[in-house]
Each structure stands twice: as structure tokens, then as C-alpha cells.
Structure 1
Amino acid sequence: MVSDEEADVVVIGSGMGGLAAARTIAQFGGKRVLVLEQHYTLGGMTHEFSRAGRYRFGTGLHYMSASAGPFLGFMTDGRAQLSPLPDDYDAMHFPEFEFAVPATKERFRARLKERFPAEADAIDGFFRTTRWAMAGLAARNVFASFPAGVRKAGAPIVERLFPSTFRSLRDQVSRSFHDPRLRAVLAARWGLYGTPPASSAFGYHAAVPLTFFMEGTAHPVGGPQELNRVVLEILQRYGVVLRSRQRVHEVVVEGGKVAGVDVEDTATGRRYRVRTDTVVSAAGVRNTYRLIGKSHELTELPEERSAVMLFLGLNRSPAEFGLRGENHWFMPDLDEYDSIHRPPGEGTLYVSFASLNNPAARFHTVELLELVDPKVVDQWRGTPENDRPDSYRKFKDELTGRLIARLDARWPGFRETIAFAELATPLSFETYQHSVLGSFYGLAATPQRLRSARAGCRTPVKGLVVAGQDAWGSGVVGALAGGLMAANAVLKPRQLGTMWQAIRSCAVARDSATPWEGYLRVAGIEVLTPTVRRIRFEPLDGDTMPFAFAAGQYVKVALPVAVEPIERSYSICSSPGESGFVEIAVKHEPDGLGSGFLHEELEAGLALRVSGPHGEFTWDPGTEADTLLLIAGGVGITPLMSVLLAAADAGHTGRIVLLASYRTEDEVLFGPEIAALRSRLPGLAVSIFVTEREGRIGLDELRPHVGLTTRVHLCGPAPMMQDLIGRLTELGVPREAIHTEAFVSGRSKETRREKAHAIAVAAAAAGVTEFMIGTVGSAPAFPCSPGQTVLDAANAVGVALPQSCGEGACGTCRVRVLSGAYETDDRGMFSADELAAGWRLACQTLPTEDLVIGQ
């Protein structure tokens, strides 16, 4: 075994528990943290998968508390956007009656009393017991994160003070109520943590369905993977190293202390050891004890249940059946003891309609979950994943049929809407979740678990702690809390004080210099010309946009045109003074993937991920200039409309000249808006050029409007911009007074990636590992990897170059290449003379040999 790496802390598993531990230990402990994930996708049960090129499915997060709570707020820096489920968010179907769970504990209690008036006093008493049981679970879990001496002394005290926490759920509802239907309602939804009422500890039931979900529920906007994306992005900011396809075979223990981990990179087969004295295992207690050779110490803990999940893709909306996004629970018996002994497909069934609750979902999906005994797939356990016997396929097909039949019985005709179906079994969870026997929720939520010294955050090995669901409770947020318990066991007391203060306050002030990123709703689509549409975005919540912008800036929009979204940049054409919405205008480019989606498929109501504002092609009403000359070619007028609106809102009285050029009369944009602006801008002069009739903008058209004090904003096609930069310079306009903006197409980005790949391949074949970029003056040369742009190489080593967008849209990162060969795209940002002098965009320039640059 090669011992070639070191880390302060190694985290095994990248579920929310592992990531929470990694962030807090890195942020508040200042540690170098390495996260090792056995799956090819990071994020644990927050990751998603796609099928049939259109359907996206979550793997473990179906809904959560509408408030998200301080834990999730901390982990996402307040960036989590949640879409509320309907008020009656859980519809329960029993053999003889139905009951819908409403948002808020007060309404739930009132509805229970209305349906079961004879037990009104008992219902009040039950909710008091619930609060006490929840407090007992929290106390037990916090004690479990303390050293052995404190745990041993505190455990019996907690059980004496909070006896209801340790009772079975079945016992507690039997003590509290006489009516079997009321018992069934309050014992239902144990599927949220996975242990049936006869076995589960009431503390877990009190925590999840009876407390955590009582203030309403929600679904992440963009799906569970959006939480995962944000969290991973934040972790990288704290220097956490994240690796997928890394199978940990052993936690190395020397003298009762952690000494390292032995790892296999399953992508390459390489085996290596990471030396460390601290390991946080988010792989579950059973896997953790296996890694130290002590699985036998867990025999006291009951076996866990696994699950089958059916993923359905629909060709129509479930709303056609009267569904609004609420979850549905189908209980075949009042007594869950009978239900859990039914064959797979006939027990308690949970059905969720995530696509109805996710405003960013383009296609409709349904997810069904039934908790089952993992032994139902024993006969196929150990067979190759991709070569299971036909009997396994038959088992899955028959089970799929039974589950779909239950949906069709409830909503006749539902079967006909199903365009895709895939069933996951306990073997699926063993493979992808790497859980023991496909355990879906980790350790069984039983009284035995609460009393066990092995079921929690601490282990007998110094330096080895457990995070995730087994360190607190079930679900993604429960796993997150377990990660914080792991941090509780690793960090020093002073560091813990800072950590908990940060979590409680959850005060995250957005840096105004950092673009906002999140989801906005498409509120309107307007056809401006045969090839241009104006699209309005509004906030998902409230009336105020989450960011302000300056006239001339742009936004980046993630477009769901494929399995992974593509990002495109679009200038803002609305006024910076408008706080309720932001608008862009998009031209339909031939074969344009992004513009094709926005023109042909986009519908009002869809939420798209947007970041902004970006760019320095800006104008402020206080800017000094005798003349503001705005020159647009085609859809290049988009950012200039924002400038005109800003000027009008500010009561600007100075001279503004707009020269706008279009190929044909049909392509002229914003005619009515510009006409209306004439009355608000007394100094505005407008000239529209239709090139098929009047030709292009030339020296004669420019000469009356330019001088040494003219400020120019120029945006349009690259050839036009290159030509006009030269003409403006010829007329004496200082180069620094000419501000340019270019549009970034998907094809240009893809071309740059292709060029970068080709350069990297050619360099590797020639044995070249890096190029050197020298600079004029005293600054040292810096390395550039083949396929890397000059700007990326400079940023990697801290060499300061002017920059803004990184895409070639703004022209800020101008550098002069004095020698050396390269590939580039100038985007029309320079005149012919400037190009001849070597001026290029650092963000578009790919060296093919050593370069010397200047500024």
C-alpha cells in the first residue's frame, strides 16, 4: 500500500451529513479536509438521475420542512429556495376513511379534534407528550456526541427524564387514545424514518412527522440536486477536496487511534493510503464498524428495513387527475403490524409528485416508495449487477405492475399517462447508496438504538466519529444534523462556540460584488419581431427582485435543454429602476440550442436558474460626457435600451444619440419604446438604419456626433464592431471612451472548448506539460497548462489582469500579445489596427507555445 497523501481530516461519504461535517471542520477548525465518495456522483441522497433524456428523479429527498431551518440555511448560505406544497400536504388513505394533514401544528390539532371530538383532551395531552419526546431525542443525540464518560453518566438520566422518547410508537398511541382510527392517523407516516410502529421509538416519530413537518412542507426549487450543487460550491470555497469513485477499504487503527484510511480509486484501480488522525464516517454505523473490523459489536441492534422505489415519467400533468402536489399515503390496514407483513407492492405506499412542486421541472414525474424487508431479494443477492437472472427481471416487472395498478385504482386512467417506469430494489440501494442490505434510512429507529453506545456519533476508536443519519435521525436534514454532531466531537470548545453561533444566527450577508444566483420565474413572453422575443423574469417569492443592476449589464441563464443545463448570457433590456422584474430580449439564432429553447419551448411559469448582474458595459446617469453615443447592430440594442431607460428615469437632459442598424425593416426593435422615450429625454436623437435600403453606418453618419468628449457604447455583430471601432478612432474618439459589448453564443463556447482540447492533446503528444507566459516589466512569468486560457492561467497563480465576464462579452481583459503562437477569438472587440498591434482578449486566448504579453 502506497502512503503518499496526508490530510488533517478525511470524511468518508458525501451525503449531507458528510458534507456538513466537512464544511464546519474546514470553516471553524481551519483543517485540510478530504471527502471520499464511493459513488460516481457526489451528494448522497440529494443527487438526481435522469432517464429518457427528459425525466429527472430524486433519490432520497421528497419533501422537507417549509422553513428549512437553521441547519439547511447555514449549509446553503441562505441560498436554498423552497417551493411550498399545498396546505393539505399529506393525504392519507385508510380502508374505511381518509385524513389530510394540514400545515401548522395548530390546524392539525384542530382537525384531529373535529374528526375525533370524544378524544379532544387526549389529543392535547398527546401533543404535550410529543414535545417532551422530541426534547428527549435531542438531548440523547447531543449527549451521544460527547466523550464516553459524559455519555455513560448522561444516558440513564435522559431516559429517566424523557421516558416517552424511548417507548415504542405503538405503545405511546395505545396509551394516549381509545379510537383505533385516531391511533392509525397519528401512527401513520412512519415511512418518513423507516421503522414500523411496533418497533420504532416514539422520539423519532415525534421528531419527524409530528414536529419537523408541522409548519408546512416544501420541495427544493430546481430539485434536490440544486441543494447539492450549492453546498458543493460552498465547500470548494473553504478548500475542501472532493473526490468521487473512491472506495475506502479500511480505516487504519494503530494503538487504538486512527492512523489513516486505505483507499481504492475505482476509476483507475489505484490503491493508496491517506495518513490522518481524524476520520469522519458518513457511511453509516454498520459500514463504519466493518471498516475497523468490529461489525460483531452491533449484534444488539435490530435489522433495518430497505425499500423499493418506482420512478415514473409521465406524458401529461398529474394535475389532470385533481392532484396539486400533495403526497399520498396508502395504508391497506389500520394496524401497521398487518401491513408490513403483506407481500411487496401491497403494503404501505408513499406517492409523491415532485414535478408539481418544483417550478423548474419541465417534465412530470412521480415517485413511489414502499419500505420492505431486504430479504425479499435474498435469492439474487451476490449476482452481477448487470447480469441478474431473468427471475429478477420478472420480480421487478410484476412488482411494478402491482404498484401502477394501485395508482390506477385511485385515479382511473393514470396508467395511460405513464411514458417511463423504472423500479429500484434493495439491491439498487446496496449498489448506489452502498448501504448494508439496502438500508434506506440507516440504523432502525428503535429504543435499542437510543440505548446503544455504538449507535451514535462516537466510536471506540480515538479520532473516528460517525456523521449522517445514524448520528441524529432520518432524512437529509437529519443527516445534516448528524454531520454537525460529528463536528461537535472533532472541534475544540472555542471553535464550537463560533460554529453554533453562526448556525443559530444563519445571518448570511450577500457580498454586493458577487453576482446573485438562484431561480426566477418566467412571467411573460412577448414577440417583438419574427426572430426576437422579450422574456420577463420575476421573483419566486415577494415583489422585489433579489438583485439590482446597472444599465448595460447582463444575466446568465441556465437552460434545461438537455440532461445537464447549458448556460447562456443575455443583456438586460429593462430599466435598472424597475425592482419587480428584469427583462431580456433574445434573437432566435439558426441552429442555436439556447435561443431555440427560449423561442420554441419556453412557457410562462417555468423557473430558470439565473445569475447576475454581470459585466462592465455600464452607464451611470452621473457620467460626464458632452455626448453619449449609443451604436447598436440588430439585437445589440438590448443593453442600450436599459441605458436609455435609466437616463429617462434619472431625468437626464444631456445629449444622447442612438444609431441603430438592422438588416431589414422587420428586424427593427423597440420602436414603440423608443418613440415613448423621446418625450422623456429632450436631448435624444435617434437614427435607424435599414442596411438593405440605406447601407451601413459609416464615417459620414458618425462624424456629426463624435468628438474628444464623446462617450461611445457599441454593441452588435463582431464585423460591425471591428469596423466601427476603427472608424471612431479615425474620427478622434479616444479608445478608452469606446465601450463595447459582444454576445456570447453557445457555438463560440463549444468551439473554444474544442480548441482547448485539441491543444491539450497535441501538447501531451509532444511531451509538453506547460507553456510560460512572460510579462513586460518586473512581473515574473507564470505557467499556463495546455488548453488553459491566458486569463485562467493568470488567475490560478494570482497574477492580476483586468477582467469581468470571463466570456469575451465585455472586452475588459485586453492584453497585448507581443510574441508567441496562440488560438483566439477576438469577438469584434478590436479594430483592424488594434488586432495588427497584437491586442487580444485574455479570456479567449489559448497559447500553443510560450507567450510574452503586455497591457
Structure 2
Amino acid sequence: MLVAGMAFEEVDAVVIGSGMGGLAAARMLAQFGGKRVLVLEQHYTAGGMTHEFARQGRYRFGTGVHYMSGNAGPFLNFMTDGRVQLQPLPDDYDVLHFPGFDFAVPATREKFRARLVQLFPDEAKAIDRYFRKVRRAMVGLAARNVLSSMSSPVRMMGFPVVERLFPAAYRSLRDEVHRSVTDPRLRAILEARWGLYGTPPATSAFGYHAAVPTTFFMDGTAHPVGGPKAINEVVLEILAERGVEVRVRQLVRRIVVERGRAAGVDVVDQATGREYRVTAPAVVSAAGVRNTYALLGREVDLPAEPSAVMLFLGLKRSPAEFGVHGENHWFMPDLDGSARGTLYVSFASLNNPAARFHTVELLELVDPGDFERWRDRPEGYEQFKAEWTDRLLDRLEQRWPGFRELVDFAELATPLTFENYQHSVRGSFYGLAATPQRLRSRAAGARTPVKGLVVAGQDAWGSGVVGALAGGLMAANAVLSGRRTGAMWRALLAPVPPVSGVWRGYLRVAAMDTVTPQIRRIRLEPLDGGVLPFGFVAGQYLKVELPVAVEPIERSYSICSGPQATGYAEIAVKREPDGLGSTFLHDELRVGQALRVAGPSGTFTWAPGTEPGDGTLLLIAGGVGVTPLMSVLACAADSGYRGRIVLLLGCRGEVPFKGELDRLAALLPALEVFVFRSGPAGSGRIDLGVLRRHAAGASRVHLCGPAPMMQDVLGHLATLGVPRDIVHTEAFVSGSSGRTRRERAHAVALAAQQAGVAEYRIGVAGGESFPCPPGQTVLDAANTARVPFPQSCGEGSCGTCRVRVLKGDYETDSRGMFSAAELDDGWRLACQTLPTGDLVIEAP
């Protein structure tokens, strides 16, 4: 219904819901259809069930991803450009606990079959027959789901044919298992793990069971390194790069239909209350079939779907002390596959090497009708949840005596919780019930009776992240033209090309040692060993995410190892008393933990042959500023360099890397090392007199250290007539130095807002001007305006983005990259300079 004054927006396609299905459809429509896509999410966080939440500032919990296929599959690889890393679960990844016996499910079909035959030799032929039926049922399910994305005439003709060709897919799980085997224990094992899609054996379609626990997991299972949010973050980043806009807290009230065709959606912004309409010829709903039809004012006649309670536990210590290694545990109350009492337990932190604190997640599928009396959260609801929590903890205690003592935090989510956060009908956890009725229903699938309206996500294919992604592809399959659909499928099935540019991912802490009492060296290796996923040049650095709180902080650390050692990269970190990052790395980091890394970056680099002629390579460092220069020296030694190298090292206390310097001096016959200790008993500073003795004949100079030291040395080198273009600088940026750039930017933006200033202008001498919103740096504003600028790190470490400010007011941090004379002449770092008025700069 139109509201007076309602605003209108127009896009090519609008997607309702930002689960993996909706995001997959959005990417395909943008990439292969060239469409302007808008994604609307009612929650305050995008990503659906891949998002995480935190408690007590330390425990992080996934909401829907517990494990997935060990090879990720082409859909997830494509959606993430191959950038999500997976940590394999133990080979026996699911342990089934029945009354009287246990069974561990191994990671491959061959091992699974062999173990079943070993335990049930009289059923060997029946087991083989069962696995043959699994393959055919899986093909039948896939054929049915692909047909659901096609036109109505094709569906009408195709659905009956698929059912005739693949009848097992449409039978109940109970019926099909009983047709194959007779032993009650073997039946129980084959029927188990129906909790992965939520519908009990008596009513679930065998096709769904064949797909999820019996096929998708047969190549092993894995957990995303960094948690489910690692998938979420990468997918959203890629969508942003492709121009897809994702808005959160946007509640779709109605799907607009005009002359039998979808024409857009009516939306309310839950943050502001603003109502608006988005017009689009294509509407993709990843909100589930029932919600989609409700937005049309219709209902769907299908069996009710289940929901779940989930208990999230934070532990004081590792659950590994009970003999758990990361496998999942299923507790079945009987051999009959009862819907009540089947409990799934997942140890996510044991499978995520990036996790700092240990967590456990328990899931029990329930009838959401049992929770209706608590809908308005009357008195007694919290007590009810506490009783559920105690009952679930009792079951863990029975299996692992003493487990309760480990529990530091517990929180229970009920179907009402999922309904609130997911906006799902009665808190349905896996979408539509996985029944034969669903397979036969024209309402369950990608197409709807309304032209231009399609369904994505779990309800368009099946449960889980991969099922949701496949559902998104079905939605795109229904919207795109034939030629563009063909291009999409060719791209999906092709190998994912390697990531170009800066690499981002997790490396494992392999070793740590003490360089000095204040400097720690940390070795980072690939998670599975082997060669680093990137090469680097001596002198470059890595950006490292440090999980010091709920939200990580990012710090840059120079690589101190040589580039010829391709199996690892080492960084060295000085403890700063007030530095969040350095204190974490010194006090809390443990061997085996994974850290998210981006890099390599930086232009403070050297390789043999980069200095002209036979001149001296002069290296000047202050304290831990010697770190990147150790990489330079290692590179020189490994390459057999024979040129003259002079290292001037200023420090207090112990000499950093003294043992390594002695070893390198033996390998580099032309290396001369001079140490200058400051302080009363020291040998003085690297002053003008020192530089006069050593700078003569230098053809290349590398300088790194604290800002005051660098400023002084730059001035001395200028006095001695050393050409500025042979002096290469990198800042040693202390974690305790003043306000951060973000804090300064916020203050500048706030002051401008209070003054009523919406924009500054930055004029380029001899060129045009460009806008700069308050709080944005000169470099960011130039990049937004597409003004070419030399740049590298973007954070004030490398000095590449030098710019001369001729006129105007600003705040800046020079980071010691300039001498006093250069500062007086107006030279600044564009990435650190925040205009507080209009500026005029000299073009770089």
C-alpha cells in the first residue's frame, strides 16, 4: 500500500534476506547479469546463519555453521574466491551414541562402508545396495531441484518423470532403510544424523538424507578457520567490490505485484522508521517459502517444520582433557530415531585454530509448538530455560564426568530466539521440513506463481550453508537469460583462479623465542605446512589481526626473516607498556594458534642489484627498527651478495639479534656492524659525526626507527648532501604514541559537523580540486575522487604517499618520515593528513 510521501528507489534486482542463499543470488545477478542489486536484511548483522555473537568479551559462537564438507565444494569456493580456509575435523568426525553401543563415522565412503561391513558382515550385500540407492537418490534430488528453477511447463512435465526415475528419493528414510537392511543396530546407524536437516526418519524424504549426511560429508568434514564469520566477511567484501549494496535493519513489509508480476518491495527502515518502496523487475526472496508467500498475502500447505534449542557454553579450559579431539557427538535415546531427545554436541573451538577461548554448542531439535506458551515471555520463561540448560548439562556430565566444572558461561536459545533474530516462521531452523510432500510441492523450490519473484536459500535446495548457496544459484538460474546462465555455470565449475595482489588468510604460530627481554620473535607457517601462500621481498611487512577483544585490532609488523626461506615468515615485536597488540603477542599468544594475516606490503625493500654501481648499502636502525633490515641482511647472505654493507644500529640495553648479526657477519665478508648504545654508559647516538664517517660512498640508504631518531638522521643526511632519492624510510610506529588516526578523524568530523561544514576542497597546484568529507584523509579523498597518488601501506609506515601542503589547515602525524627542513617546507604523509579546512597541495 502506498503511503503519502513514500520515497522510491529503483534497482535491477532486490534480494530479501542476506543469508548465504540471498548473497549467492546477489553475486550471480551482479556478476553475470550486470544488474544493480540491493540486498535488504531485517537483522542488524548481514550473513544469515554465518554470523557470530560474542559473550563476556571472550566467547564467540556460531549460530548455524558447525561443520561442512571437507573440500568446501565448487559453490563455496566460488563465492569466497577460494579465500576461506578450512580446518579438517578428525577422521572419525561423527561419533554416534546409542543405548548399549557407539559407532564412529569415518571420513570417506570407502571407510564408512568397510566399517559397516566389519561390524555387520551378514549385511554386506544390503550395505552395498544401500549405497547404490544413495547415489541414485542424490541424483534424483538434484534433478528435482534444478527443475524447480525452470519455467512452469518444464516443471509440470519434468517433476513426474523425475519421481518415476528416482522413486527412492521420494520415499521416507525409514521406508528406504528398512527395504535395504534388517539388523536394528545397522538401521539405527544409517538413519542417524537426520538432525543435519531436521526431519525424523519416519517422515523425512530419503533424497535429503542421501544428500546431506551420506554424500556431502563423505569426503571428510571441516570447520572454517576463524569461525563462520570468516565466510561471511569474505562474501560481503566480494559483493561490495561488485557493487552490490547490503542494508541491514530493513524490514520488507510487502512484495509489490502489478499485473501478475513482481514489481518491487515495500520496506521500513527499522533504525529510522522511514518507509520506502524499491522498484525492481526481479525480486529474490531468501526469507524462506512461508515468509515469501506471507509477503504476498498467501499461505503454504506443507508439513510443519521443526525448530531447535541450542545451548552455547563457554569453558574455563579445553574439553580435550576429556579425550575429545574435535569430533561431533550425537546422543540418541533409542534405536528408533526418536525425534525427542536426540542431542548433537559440537566442539567448535577445537576445530578452529584461531579460537582463543573454548566453546561448545549443543543442539536438540524440538517441536516449536511446545514453546508457544512462552511467546510473550511471561514470568517463568527464564526459569524454564534454566531447567533446559540443567537437563542438557546433565547429559554431558553423564558422558564426561566433571564436565560441568569446566562451564564458565551458558546461554540457551529457543525457537522464540530464532524467530526473533532470523525472522523465521516459528523459529524454523532448517527451513521447510525435508519431507516427500515438499519434493512434490510446486511451492517448494526456486520458482513461484508470480513472474519475476523467485526463492533462494535452503528452501530452494536443502539444508546447510552449501544447500543455501545452491538455492541461491537456483534463484539466479531462474532470473538470468540462457546465455548468461551458461556463463555462470561455466565459471562455477571452472577452477578458482589464485588470488592476486595482497594475500589474506590465516597462518599458524609455529615457534616463539626471545630476542631481548623486550623483543619477541614469532614464526608464522601455513596451517598445513608446506610453502607460504605468498612470496615477499626483503624489507616488507605483514598486517596481523590480533584478537585482543571481541573485535580484533590490526597491527603491522616487519618481516625479519629472509625471503629465501619459503616455508615461513618471522616477525619481531617490541613490548610497549600501553600497546594492546604487543602485550597480547608477548603475554597471551601461544604456539599453535592461528592469526589472520594480510600481506606482504611495503616498498621499503631491497634485492641484490637494486643499488647503483659499487656503492655502499647503508642500513640505519633504531632499536626494533632493525627488524626489516635483518630480512635485508638475510637476503644478502642467502644470495651470496659481495657488496659492502654498513649497519649502524642504535639501541638501549641488549643488542637486538646479536647472535644472528654475528652469524651474518661470517657469511657477508663486506658487512660492517656498528652498535651505538644511548644513555650515560653508552657509546652515543647516530649523530652527524657518525654519519659523516659512513655515509660517504653510499649508493642506497635504508632508515627505520623511532620518529625523533629518523627526523634527526634525515636532517644529518641532508646536511651531508646525501641525495634524498636514495634514502628509503620506514617508520617504527609505537603502539603507545598519542591518538590513533581513527580517533583524530572522529574528532575532526565531529568538529566540522558542529560547525555545519559538510565538505572541504583539496586543490592541486596546476590542476583541479577534489572534495574531502571531514574526517577523511587526503589520500582517501584522492582515491575516492580517482586522483592518481603514489601509495603503498596506507597507514604511515612506508612514506610512499609524500605530499607537499602549500596552503590550508590540517591535522597530521609525520611518523618521523621527514627531516625538520622537509617539514618546514610542507612535506606530509597524505595517509595521515586530515584537512580541517580547504587545502592546496603540490601534485605528487
**Equivalent position of 2:118 in the other structure:** 114
Instruction: Give the aligned CA root-mean-square deviation in angstroms.
Output: 1.0
Question: What residue in structure 2 maps to residue 502 of structure 1?
Answer: 491
2:304 alignment partner AA: E
Q: Cα offset for 1:682? A: 1.7
**Contact conserved, 1:280 with 1:486, CA < 8 A, in 2?**
yes
SS in 2 for 1:456: coil
Q: Match of 2:459?
A: 470
Change (3 A) 1:788 1:73: same
Secondary structure, counterpart of 1:694 in structure 2? coil
Tell me which residue corresponds to 1:184: 188
Contact 2:577 2:736 in 1 (8 A): no
Residues 1:516 and 2:503 are matched in the alignment: yes
2:312 partner letter:
F
Distance in 1, matches of 2:495 and 2:562, equals 33
1:761 aligned partner: 750
Give 1:485 deviation, angstroms.
0.6
Task: Give the 3-state SS of the residue equivalent to 2:240 in structure 1.
Answer: helix
Q: How far, CA to CA, are the matches of 2:660 and 2:498 in structure 1?
A: 37
Letter in 2 for 1:373: D
Does the aligned pair in 1 maintain the 2:331–2:344 contact within 8 Å?
Answer: yes
**Matched residue, 2:633:** 644
Contact kept in structure 1, 2:196 and 2:212, CA below 8 Å: yes
Q: Between the two proteins, what is the percent identity of the paired residues?
A: 70
The 2-side partners of 1:706 and 1:759 are apart by 42
How far apart, in 1, do the equivalents of 2:771 and 2:320 lie?
A: 57
- Secondary structure of the corresponding residue to residue 380 of structure 2: helix
1:745 CA drift (Å): 4.2
1:178-577, aligned counterparts within 5 Å? 178-295=182-299, 298-299=300-301, 301-336=302-337, 339-340=338-339, 342=340, 347-381=341-375, 383=376, 388-511=377-500, 514-577=501-564
Rounded to whole Å, the distance in 2 between the matches of 1:228 and 1:743 is: 34
Query: Match for 1:92 among 92, 96, 100?
Result: 96
SS at match of 2:93: strand
Counterparts of 1:521 and 1:634 in 2: how far apart (Å)? 27
How far apart, in 2, do the equivalents of 1:3 and 1:269 lie?
Answer: 12
TM-score after normalising by structure 1: 0.97
Q: 1:103 — aligned with what?
A: 107
**CA–CA distance in 2 between the matches of 1:417 and 1:41?**
31
Moved more, 710-719 or 616-625: 616-625
Matches of 1:683 and 1:702, distance apart in 2: 18
Partners of 1:80 and 1:756 lie apart in 2 by 32
- 2:784 aligns with one of 773, 786, 796: 796
Cα contact 1:770–1:784 (8 A) shared by 2? yes
Aligned to 2:584: 597
Equivalent residue for 1:820, pick from 805, 808, 823: 808
* Structure 2 residue 14 is the aligned partner of structure 1 residue 10: yes
Q: Does structure 2 retain, via aligned residues, the 8 Å contact 1:569–1:743?
A: no
For residues 324-361 of structure 1, give each alpha carbon's deviation from its aligned partner in whole angstroms, at most 9, with x where no partner exists.
Answer: 0110000001112xx32x4xxxx000000011111111
Q: C-alpha separation between the residues in 2 aligned to 1:759 and 1:631? A: 36
Q: 1:258 offset after TM fit, Å? A: 1.3
In 2, Cα distance between the equivalents of 1:134 and 1:751? Answer: 55
AA aligned to 1:258 is A
Equivalent residue, structure 1, for 2:705:
716
Stretch of structure 1 that moved more, 704-713 or 480-489: 704-713
CA distance in structure 2 between the partners assigned to 1:326 and 1:766 by the alignment? 59
Greater Cα shift, 567-576 or 740-749: 740-749
Write the distance in 2 (CA, Å) between the matches of 1:328 and 1:428.
24
Structure 1: 5+ residue stretches without partners: none
Q: Alignment partner of 2:740: what SS? A: helix
In 2, the alpha carbon distance for the partners of 1:748 and 1:784 equals: 26
Counterpart amino acid of residue 636 in structure 1: G
Tell me the CA shift for residue 709 of structure 1: 5.1
Letter in 2 for 1:615: G
The answer as to whether partners of 1:328 and 1:352 remain within 8 angstroms in 2 is yes
- Give 1:20-31 correspondences, 5 Å limit: 20-31=24-35
CA distance in 2, matches of 1:354, 1:619: 43
Give the SS at the match of 2:330: strand
* Alpha-carbon contact 2:573-2:582 (below 8 Å) kept: yes
Q: TM-score, normalised by structure 2?
A: 0.98
- Displacement, 1:750? 5.0
Match of 1:846 among 825, 834, 844: 834
Preserved CA contact (<8 Å) 1:627 1:705? no
- Alignment partner of 2:465: what SS? helix
Structure 1 residue 706 displacement after superposition: 2.0
Task: Provide the rounded CA distance (Å) in 2 between the counterparts of 1:68 and 1:747.
Answer: 42
The answer (yes or no) to whether the contact 2:507–2:594 under 8 Å persists in 1 is: yes
Q: Using the alignment, how far apart are the partners of 1:119 and 1:650 within structure 2?
A: 64
Which residue matches 1:81? Answer: 85
Instruction: Read off the aligned partner of 1:362 and give its amino acid letter.
Output: R
CA displacement at 1:267 relative to structure 2:
1.1
Q: Take 1:175 and 1:164, find their aligned partners in 2: how far apart are those partners?
A: 10
The letter for the 1-side match of 2:93 is Y
1:635-691 alpha-carbon deviations (Å, 9 max, x no partner): 000000000111111111111100000022x2x101111111112112111100111
Q: Cα distance, 1:744 vs. partner? A: 3.5
Cα distance between partner residues in 2 of 1:138 and 1:112: 27
The amino acid across from 1:304 in the alignment is E
Alignment of 1:575-586 (within 5 A): 575-586=562-573
What is the alpha-carbon distance in structure 2 between the residues aligned to residue 186 and residue 780 of structure 1?
A: 72
What is the CA-CA distance between 1:747 and the residue it aligns to?
Answer: 4.8
Shift of 1:542: 3.4
Contact 1:50/1:57 (CA < 8 Å) preserved in 2?
yes
Contact 1:568 1:744 survives alignment (8 Å)? no
**Secondary structure of 1:679's aligned partner:** helix
Would you say 1:614 and 2:610 are equivalent positions? Answer: no
What letter corresponds to residue 127 of structure 2 in structure 1?
I
CA contact (8 A) 1:515 1:612 kept: yes
Task: Quote how far apart the aligned CAs of 1:591 are.
Answer: 1.2
Offset, 1:138: 0.2
| 8 Å Cα contact 1:77-1:506 kept in structure 2 | no
How far apart in 2 are the matches of 1:395 and 1:691?
A: 67
- Name the aligned partner's letter for residue 710 of structure 1: S
Q: Which residue of 2 aligns with 1:623?
A: 610
Aligned length: 835
